[in-house]
Amino acid sequence: MRRFARPLTVLVLGALSGLSVDARAGNGAQIASIAIANVGKGACSTDSTGGIGFASSCTGNGGQPEYWCADFARWVWGAAGVDTAGLDAAAGSFYVYGQNNNTLHYPPSVGDAVVFDYSGDGVANHVAIVVQVNADNTIETVSGDWGGNGASEAAFSSSSSAVFNTPAYASTVGTVPGIMGMTISGFVSSVGGAPPCTDACALAARVGMARAPTGEGYWIADAAGHVYPEGNASFFGDLTGVSLTQPVVGIAATPSGQGYWMVAADGGVFAFGNAGFHGSRGGSPLNKPVVGMASTPTGLGYWLVAADGGIFTYGDAAFEGSAGGMTLNKPVVGMAATTTGHGYWLVAADGGIFNYGDAPFEGSAGGMTLNAPVVGMAASATGKGYWLVAADGGIFTYGDATFHGSAGGMTLAKPVVGMATTADIGGYWLVAADGGIFTYGDAPYLGNGLGSTCSGNTPVQCVVAASGCTVTSNATACAAGDACDHGTCQATCTDTCTAGSSRCSGTGLEVCGHYGSEPCNTWSAAAACPTGQSCTGDVCSSPTCTDACEPGATECMGGELATCGATTDAGCRTWGSPTACQFGQTCQAGGCASVGHGAHAGDDGGVDDGGSTDAAPVKDAAGKGVDGSTKGQPSSGDGSSGSASETPSSGGGCTTGAQRATPWQSLLFAALLGFNLVRRRRRAPVLAVPAAGLAERSGRD
């Protein structure tokens, strides 16, 4: 029995970048390299050696494609030069091979064949090649004949391909990894074959890229922490020579383009240039590995995201939410932040989108059947759209993100691992695991990250040979007068500073690095520090300050009332803008008070509506019952007793005794009285009352 239809598998950002265990036969790396070189190929494709198909994959079914997972595995072993005697197109033949050669074993090794659903008598459902074994014995595999469609053997096998089975899954025999959907029956090592080769140089998979602010350059990072600047992107240092606990999985640039961070799978953060170190998860336990990062708009903080959707914030990066407590269909593989710094998106390998803060949901690929898993994303400059990129170079656009093309229909040597947009979002770059660059829209080609280094005065490039081991190529010495610098021949010059160092220049900051065509380290133009910071001690930092007041305190300033509660750019407490007191009040001793009186509840602004007479009680403007105050004692505006005789009230202008009217007031009162008498002609006669009391009555009729 051969393999049946299985779900599409996932390639996680940074896959194949961890530590591997050597194969028992000594040539496991070569076997893995050959398997990986044929990912994406079909039953009748041209294989990596130039032949057609894999063993009998293209014609074994009466001249048509047959179920070919075992064909692929035995072809890979044969291409590596190992003994394949006894193997055929049946997946179970690998289990029998292990029994006959005594190579069934555990734990697994790179280059092993892993057999699934072995039921005896040489019958199994599937076989794959182990291409990575991690320290916890989780594995990643490459399977032939995966993801086909159609009910017949020919239809299925014609539409299937060789794929990565990632992310890493548990290798325990007898268990059913969710990504495979079949029971692991055993691991089989090959016998015989060529002796193991030796790598001549280090070559790590590229894991991502970051754009320079001008859009005329970019940085590419690999799993070993090397940085490859292209275009006008400057080199500020990398992790060459540093022993890493876990591989690097991402890179992010500062807003000024004068520095960058790299983040490793264990959450370790490495800062270069003017990128500040604000903290990391390095050395702390994680539920799942970190898979990416994003910078805040100020460059004074960053977010880290883990495969389970967990978010870790540092510096001025705000926590807006996470998927850490959710059950995910597929792991998170990347993130992007909004331009405001108040939100972010997470993207999963199935194209699912999780939005937080002010990041809007504009759509996702979560419900689609993907040819290859999503590996990253980029946000538009407006914050109203985003792009997703898949391992096969496919592009998915949402919101105001524009489609400019993709590599989805191409046969790639290595999977795509990330993308970056141009400054005007009129185009984008894709980067593959081997450093290959694909450009679309107005994104210019500025160079690739194929990993040239210097060997003395000679630039050399590290590549994988047919043997599966790395060799150097393009080894041509630089011309006289030139020198090899960072993998290229440059005109000779003298460094004026150390790459990545900084210094204050006036109120700005200069950073040492390579700029433009200048091959040596020199100082950049001074860049202004972020708002609220100044250059002190050769770094941009927030100034120290002292609170000017206690929160909630009040103070009179220029006759107006100010309250302590505002903060300066440096974060210290200060007085807020003063505000005027109500009409008839002045600011005294840190508070607003009525002129000559304290403030009264219900004060209507100081209008004297209860003249001091001996008349019967009347009602004030608010309809409350109030007694006229004692003769000779003016009242306040709410009808409460005024202060001592001959002291003006808050109503302003009252004198002792009954209120005296001016001639103009007398005319006005006579007019009002006549009007009122006409209105009341059918009522009982009205007695004359003081003018203030009359005004109150007419106001209610």
Read off the pTM. Answer: 0.50
CB atoms within 10 A of CB 325: 8
Q: What gap in Å lies between CA 72 and CA 31, rounded to an integer?
A: 12
- Sequence-separated (6 or more) residues with CB below 8 Å from residue 657: 612, 631, 632
Q: Is residue 8 part of a domain?
A: no
Q: Which residue has the tokens 């803060």?
A: 357
Structural domains counted in the chain = 3
pLDDT of amino acid 115: 97
**Tokens 């959707």 — which residue?**
309
**Same structural domain, 181 and 216:** no
- How many CB atoms lie under 10 A from the CB of residue 573? 18
Q: Is residue 364 part of a domain?
A: yes
CATH number of the structural domain spanning residue 85: 3.90.1720
**What is the structure's pLDDT at 683?**
44
350 within 8 A of 329, measured Cβ to Cβ: yes
Q: What span, in angstroms and rounded, lies between the C-alpha atoms of 274 and 212? A: 14
| Bridge partners, 356 (sequence order) | 344
Low-confidence ranges of the chain (pLDDT < 70): 1-26, 193-203, 449-453, 463-470, 474-475, 485-488, 490, 514-519, 542-544, 569-571, 596-701
**Does a structural domain hold residue 527?**
yes
Predicted confidence at residue 569, as pLDDT, reads 64
Q: Are residues 421 and 507 in the same domain?
A: no
How many other CB atoms are there within 10 angstroms of residue 575's CB atom? 16
Q: What angle do CA 499, 503, 505 make, to 5 degrees?
A: 135
Measured CA distances, 454 to 457, 475, 489 (Å): 6, 9, 9
Residues 401 and 526 in one domain: no
What pLDDT digit, counting tens, does each position of 196-230 carry? 556 666 667 889 999 998 888 999 998 889 898 88
Q: How far apart are CA 35 and CA 128, in angstroms?
A: 10
Q: What is the pLDDT of residue 172?
A: 92
Question: What's the pLDDT score for residue 498?
Answer: 83
Q: Tell whether 176 and 268 lie within a shared domain.
A: no
Q: Do residues 362 and 384 lie in contact, with contact meaning Cβ atoms separated by under 8 Å?
A: yes
Residues 109 and 213 grouped into a single domain:
no
- Report the distance separating Cα 640 and Cα 227, nearest Å: 81
Q: Provide the pLDDT for residue 610.
A: 36
**Contact assessment for residue 543 and residue 523, using Cβ atoms and an 8 Å cutoff:** no
Peptide bond into 167 cis (omega under 30): yes
Whether residues 133 and 52 share a domain: the answer is yes
- If asked whether residues 402 and 527 sit together in one domain, one would say no
Q: Which domain holds residue 299?
A: 206-446
Question: Looking at residue 624, what is its pLDDT?
Answer: 34
Query: What's the pLDDT score for residue 653?
Result: 35
Angle at 468 between CA 464 and CA 474, to 5 degrees: 25
| 440 and 384, same domain (yes or no) | yes
**Residue carrying the six token digits 């008598």:** 121
| CA distance linking residue 82 with residue 191, whole number of Å | 6
- Say if 52 falls within a structural domain: yes
What 3-state class would DSSP assign to 537?
A: coil
- Work out the angle between the directed axes of helices 69-79 and 92-101 (0-180°, nearest 10): 40
My answer on whether 47 and 171 are in the same domain is yes
User: Cα dihedral sign for 358, 405, 414, 206?
Assistant: negative
Q: Per the domain annotation, does 102 fall within a domain?
A: yes
Q: Do the domain assignments include residue 594?
A: no
Which pLDDT tens digit goes with each residue over 634-668?
Answer: 333 333 333 333 333 333 333 333 444 455 555 55
Give me the CATH number covering residue 311: 2.130.10.10
Q: What is the pLDDT of residues 441-497, one digit of tens each?
A: 888 888 776 666 677 788 877 766 655 566 777 667 888 877 776 666 767 777 788
Query: Do 301 and 393 belong to one domain?
Result: yes
164 with 212, same domain: the answer is: no
Q: Per the domain annotation, does 658 fall within a domain?
A: no
Same domain, 433 and 293: yes
480 within a domain of the structure (yes/no)? no
